[in-house]
Structure 1
Amino acid sequence: MPDTRGRSWPVTKTAERTGSGWPVLRGSISMVLLIASLAALFMLKLVLGSVAIPVSDVVGILLGNGSDNAGWVAIVLNYRLPTAVVGIFAGASLAVAGLLMQTLFRNPLAGPDVFGLSAGASLGVAVVVLSAGTAGASSTILGNLGPFGSIGIAVAASIGSGLVLLMILIASRRIRSSMTILILGLMFGYTASSFISILMHFALAERIQAYTVWSFGSFGGATWDQIQVLVLFASVGLLVGACQVKNLNALLLGEQYAESMGLDFRRTRNVIFVTTAVLSGTVTAFCGPIAFIGIAVPHLCRALFSTANHAVLVPACILLGACLAVAADIIASVPGNEITLPLNAITSLIGAPVVIWVIFSKNRQGMEMSV
Structure 2
Amino acid sequence: MALLADIILGSVNIPLSEIWGTLTGHEGNEIYREIILNHRIPKALTAICTGAALSVAGVMMQTLFHNPLAGPDVLGVTSGASLGVALLTLSTAALPFAFVSGWGQVLAAVIGATAVLLLIIVASVKIPQTVSLLIIGMMFGNFAGAIVSIMQSISNPDMLKLFITWTFGSLSSVGWEQMWVMVFAIMGGLFMAFLLQKQLNIFLLGKNYAAGLGISVMRLRFLVILATALLAGTSTAFTGPIAFIGITMPHIARGLMETSNHRIIFPAVILCGATVMLLCDIISQLPGTQGTLPINAVTALFGAPVIVWIIIKNKG
Shift of 1:64: 2.1
Deviations 1:215-274 (A, max 9, x none): 000110212111110000011111111111101101110000011111111001000000
Cα separation, partners in 2 of 1:297 and 1:125, compared to 1, 3 Å: same
Amino acid at match of 1:251: F
User: What is the rounded CA distance, in whole Å, between the counterparts of 2:192 and 2:14 in structure 1?
Assistant: 38
Cα separation, partners in 2 of 1:81 and 1:134, compared to 1, 3 Å: farther
User: What is the rounded CA distance, in whole Å, between the counterparts of 1:117 and 1:174 in structure 2?
Assistant: 19
Shift of 1:134: 6.3
2:216 aligned partner:
264
1:215 aligned partner:
167
Cα separation, partners in 2 of 1:331 and 1:134, compared to 1, 3 Å: farther
Structure 2 segments unaligned to the other structure (5+ residues): none
Cα separation, partners in 2 of 1:200 and 1:336, compared to 1, 3 Å: same
Shift of 1:354: 1.0
User: What is the rounded CA distance, in whole Å, between the counterparts of 2:302 and 2:196 in structure 1?
Assistant: 28
Amino acid at match of 1:333: Q
User: What is the rounded CA distance, in whole Å, between the counterparts of 1:228 and 1:199 in structure 2?
Assistant: 32
2:138 aligned partner:
186
Cα separation, partners in 2 of 1:146 and 1:72, compared to 1, 3 Å: closer
**Matches of residues 1-371 of structure 1 in structure 2 within 5 Å?**
40-67=1-28, 69-133=29-93, 145-364=97-316
Structure 1 segments unaligned to the other structure (5+ residues): 1-39, 136-143, 365-371
Shift of 1:132: 1.7
1:249–1:309 Cα contact (<8 Å) kept: yes
Shift of 1:150: 1.1
Amino acid at match of 1:210: L
User: What is the rounded CA distance, in whole Å, between the counterparts of 2:101 and 2:61 in structure 1?
Assistant: 32
1:60–1:66 Cα contact (<8 Å) kept: yes
2:72–2:246 Cα contact (<8 Å) kept: yes
**Secondary structure at 1:220 match in 2:** coil
Shift of 1:146: 4.9
Shift of 1:178: 0.6
Shift of 1:337: 0.5
**TM-align CA RMSD:** 1.2
User: What is the rounded CA distance, in whole Å, between the counterparts of 1:222 and 1:207 in structure 2?
Assistant: 21
Shift of 1:66: 3.8
1:66–1:73 Cα contact (<8 Å) kept: no
User: What is the rounded CA distance, in whole Å, between the counterparts of 1:237 and 1:253 in structure 2?
Assistant: 24
User: What is the rounded CA distance, in whole Å, between the counterparts of 1:145 and 1:177 in structure 2?
Assistant: 44
User: What is the rounded CA distance, in whole Å, between the counterparts of 1:131 and 1:242 in structure 2?
Assistant: 40
Cα separation, partners in 2 of 1:264 and 1:220, compared to 1, 3 Å: same
Deviations 1:312-343 (A, max 9, x none): 00001111100011110110000000100011
User: What is the rounded CA distance, in whole Å, between the counterparts of 1:79 and 1:292 in structure 2?
Assistant: 25
Amino acid at match of 1:325: M
User: What is the rounded CA distance, in whole Å, between the counterparts of 1:116 and 1:222 in structure 2?
Assistant: 23
More helix per residue: 1 or 2?
Answer: 2
Runs of 4+ in 1 over 3 A off after TM superposition: 144-149
2:105–2:237 Cα contact (<8 Å) kept: yes
1:41–1:326 Cα contact (<8 Å) kept: yes
Amino acid at match of 1:123: L
Amino acid at match of 1:300: I
1:133–1:146 Cα contact (<8 Å) kept: no
Shift of 1:148: 4.1
Amino acid at match of 1:306: E
User: What is the rounded CA distance, in whole Å, between the counterparts of 1:242 and 1:145 in structure 2?
Assistant: 40
Query: In the comparison of the two structures, how many residue pairs are matched?
Result: 316
